[in-house]
């Protein structure tokens, strides 16, 4: 998925996430651990240009900290009924 900031986000079936900066030709890696993680199911950007990832939870990317924050039901994430 391209995020509108000349960056390509690539999810893998082992749960890892790679961001490729098309302008700088630079790779950044996220969700890299020694154990296999659940597949990345969803990558999308919202109307404010924020990157969200669905992987056994919902994560939002924080530009300033260069990291993802997990949103959970306990943290206020709503459910569809």
User: 30, 68 in Cβ contact below 8 A?
Assistant: yes
Question: Which pLDDT value is given to residue 12?
Answer: 83
Dihedral sign for Cα atoms in the order 77, 62, 17, 19: positive
Residue 18 host element (H or E): strand 17-21
Average pLDDT estimate for 32-61: 83
For 2-41, write each residue's pLDDT tens digit: 998 999 999 888 888 999 999 999 999 998 776 666 777 7
- The full set of domain ranges for the chain reads 7-71
Question: Which pLDDT value is given to residue 57?
Answer: 79
């Amino acid at each position: 998925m391209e995020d509108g900031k000349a960056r390509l986000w690539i999810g893998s079936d082992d749960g890892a996430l790679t961001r490729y900066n098309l302008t700088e030709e630079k790779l950044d890696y996220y969700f890299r651990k020694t154990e296999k993680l659940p597949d990345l199911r969803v990558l999308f950007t919202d109307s404010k240009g924020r990157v969200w990832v669905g992987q056994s939870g919902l994560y939002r990317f924080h530009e300033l900290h260069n990291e993802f924050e997990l949103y959970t039901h306990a943290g206020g994430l709503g459910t569809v009924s």
